[in-house]
Amino acid sequence: MSLSRHINADEVIEKSKDHPHRKHTVHRQHHSWRRDEDSSLAPKYTMPKFGLPSKSAYQLLHDETALDGNPLLNLASFVHTWMPDDANKLIMENINKNLVDLDEYPAASIIHNRCISMLADLWKAPKEGKVIGTATAGSSEAIMLGGLAMKKRWQEARKAAGKDHYHPNIVFGANAQVALEKFARYFDVETRLVPVKPDNGFIMDPNDALQYIDENTIGVMVILGSTYTGHFEDVDLMSKLLDTLQADTGLDIPIHVDAASGGFVAPFVYPQLKWSFDIPRVVSINTSGHKFGLVYPGLGWILWRDEGFLHKDLVFELHYLGSTEYSFTLNFSKPAAPVIAQMFNFLNLGFDGYKSVATKDLRNARMLSRALESTYFEILSNIHRPIIEKTTGPLEIATHAVHNLTHNVDDPEAYEPGLPVVSFRLSSEFKKENPHVQQAWVQSMLRTKGWIVPNYNAPKGAEDIEILRVVVRETLTEDLTERLIVDILEVTESLMGSENALSVQASSKGMHQPDQEHGRPDKDNFGDGQLEGGKKQEGFARQC
């Protein structure tokens, strides 16, 4: 297999060996074990005829995976990467259990159902209803199930009315995570993307969504926590507009809330925010246990406000595992360990613990936002902006915001609601003074320091805007946030001035950037050394 576009690296490596065909391999006895000798016998792209000793197989893969990035410094991902030792022990004790086998593993099944009950209570499911839900492999599977349930109910209603049921469509913002588009494409549902606007946080405006809805719309998916900027879409407003639409046209359009990230943030730090099952039009909600649920990948959850919203065609009755069981997931076998790990977090952290983690994440995100906004960047996310700046509602709301800002600046409710995400871009002033600088260079140069900070284009409606983004997870401590601020300022200042520009352009060789080619700063020119003024920057970061 060629590993290079123009040169077959495998051939080059083979020709460079003393014994290309390994006919004369010498087994040196002074090694405690035959590390190179054993690994040299393992083909890379075909099944080995004979197996390696377990220690050799372990060491071979251990060494190769050392090339992966450090999960601690991967600020591009929402996925959680750390759990306490007790949780790790519990996971290993249950890693061989299959959750679908309820008869064989009844304790795991009970724990699963308790998780569903706790989430239903957290998301304000109506007590009079029969809430139903399941664990999934992640939010992608959960979204598929939520979409399928809406499609099946729409088709059944259309058949009963004697109307066409072959052309369903679904409405959501262009800022949607790819899983939403996957659902539509995989299950033959027309996607109706609502373009976003920069002045609305690059998320769907419910008023704009109305024009895409018709009698073939199976539902609207509203995103509680955009992957682009962390903004929350307005579920309550969307519901009220759909209420008005139903009164005017008779169309009864349900809402599915994609709370992949926000489902484990909003209940703890924004308890007054209306987004969940306390809105009657919300029929289903999904979330990712492996994001702000603080569990390793992959674990997702989906709940329906009542079993009537889970169409009977999606439920299968099984008899061949020892008892009568019911399945309504896309995949059959599913590890029990992540579900047990989720229950560990529920018990270990409790409501107050989750609130403490989310509050800390938001605090660090605000510090990062303020530091960047006061230097060379424009901040596109909103969680550092006090609510009072945009409050136009009743006097008591404004008074509450003022009270929070005056007496408790650490209270997330004093600020615009959103995920602990910092989305930013180079300011207009910086770009005017440094027109040669390409924003993607910041991403590339941060990578040389170990940080993974993505640079990407905004969604449909604002495609020409590039965004840098940092996801502040539990593992990004205040100390690391301060270090990140210093490193961002260092690499940005190193790009300023004509001399640096020439150095960057001379070393640029075709690094990919969405929609254009751009240069890649050479590490020799922009290394990890402390720049002049670094101490001043670090002091600044600590003050923010």
Token pair of 422 as six digits: 């910092």
Coil/strand/helix, residue 421: strand
Provide, rounded to the nearest whole percent, the portion of the chain with pLDDT above 90.
69
Q: What is the pLDDT of residues 493-528, one digit of tens each?
A: 999 974 444 454 444 444 444 333 333 333 333 333
Q: Say if residue 298 is preceded by a cis peptide, omega within 30 of 0.
A: yes
Task: Identify the helix (H) or strand (E) that includes residue 36.
Answer: helix 35-40
What does the pLDDT read at residue 103? 79
DSSP state for residue 74 in the 8-state scheme:
B
In angstroms, the CA 461 to CA 379 distance is 19
* The CA-based dihedral angle spanning residues 484, 485, 490, 491, taken in that order and rounded to the nearest 10 degrees: 60
* Continuous H helices in 198-306: 206-209, 235-249, 266-269
In angstroms, the CA 40 to CA 21 distance is 10
Q: What's the Cα-to-Cα distance from 362 to each of 232, 353, 369, 374, 443, rounded to whole Å?
A: 14, 14, 10, 18, 23
In angstroms, the CA 124 to CA 143 distance is 20
CA angle 43, 47, 49 (to 5 degrees): 85
Token pair of 385 as six digits: 């902006």
Token pair of 414 as six digits: 């004093």
Contact 295, 341 (CB under 8 A): yes
In angstroms, the CA 252 to CA 269 distance is 32
Q: Please, which residues bridge with residue 98 across strands?
A: 335
Task: Identify the helix (H) or strand (E) that includes residue 393.
Answer: none
Q: Where are the domains of the chain?
A: 90-343
What does the pLDDT read at residue 6? 78
Question: How many CB atoms sit inside 10 A of residue 233's CB?
Answer: 29
Report DSSP letters for 47-67, one per residue. Answer: --SSPPPHHHHHHHHHHHHTT
Question: How many CB atoms sit inside 10 A of residue 199's CB?
Answer: 8
Q: What is the pLDDT of residues 23-44, one digit of tens each?
A: 444 444 555 556 677 777 788 8
First to last CA, the chain: 51
DSSP state for residue 188 in the 8-state scheme:
T
Contact 255, 402 (CB under 8 A): no
In angstroms, the CA 388 to CA 320 distance is 60
In angstroms, the CA 294 to CA 79 distance is 8
Question: How many CB atoms sit inside 10 A of residue 195's CB?
Answer: 15
Q: Is the pLDDT reported for residue 536 higher than 90?
A: no
Sheet holding 217-223, edge to edge: 132-136, 300-304, 282-288, 255-258, 217-223, 169-173, 190-194
In angstroms, the CA 25 to CA 23 distance is 6
In angstroms, the CA 175 to CA 200 distance is 12
176 versus 10: which is more confidently predicted?
A: 176
CA angle 378, 379, 383 (to 5 degrees): 160
Token pair of 193 as six digits: 């993307």
What does the pLDDT read at residue 22? 54
Q: How many Cα atoms within 13 Å fall on the side-chain side of residue 452?
A: 12
Report DSSP letters for 116-182, one per residue. Answer: HHHHHHHTT--TTS--EEEEESSHHHHHHHHHHHHHHHHHHHHHHTT---S--EEEEETT--HHHHH
**Contact residues for 346 (Cβ-Cβ < 8 A; gap 6+):** 115, 118
**Contact residues for 23 (Cβ-Cβ < 8 A; gap 6+):** none
Average pLDDT of the chain?
86
| Topology (CATH) of 90-343 | Aspartate Aminotransferase; domain 2 (3.40.640)
Q: Which amino acid is at 62?
A: H
Contact 495, 444 (CB under 8 A): no
In angstroms, the CA 77 to CA 405 distance is 31
- Its pTM stands at 0.84
Q: Which amino acid is at 41?
A: L
Q: Please, which residues bridge with residue 513 across strands?
A: 516
In angstroms, the CA 77 to CA 261 distance is 11
92 versus 4: which is more confidently predicted?
A: 92
* Residue 182 banded pLDDT, cuts 50, 70, 90: very high
Q: What is the pLDDT of residues 263-305, one digit of tens each?
A: 999 999 999 999 999 999 999 999 999 999 999 999 999 999 9
Q: What is the pLDDT of residues 436-495, one digit of tens each?
A: 999 999 999 999 999 999 999 999 999 999 999 999 999 999 999 999 999 999 999 999
Task: Identify the helix (H) or strand (E) that includes residue 254.
Answer: none
In angstroms, the CA 496 to CA 431 distance is 10
**Contact residues for 43 (Cβ-Cβ < 8 A; gap 6+):** none
Q: What is the pLDDT of residues 233-262, one digit of tens each?
A: 999 999 999 999 999 999 999 999 999 999
Question: How many CB atoms sit inside 10 A of residue 35's CB?
Answer: 14
Q: What's the Cα-to-Cα distance from 401 to each of 64, 356, 367, 404, rounded to whole Å?
A: 52, 20, 20, 5
Q: Which amino acid is at 482?
A: E
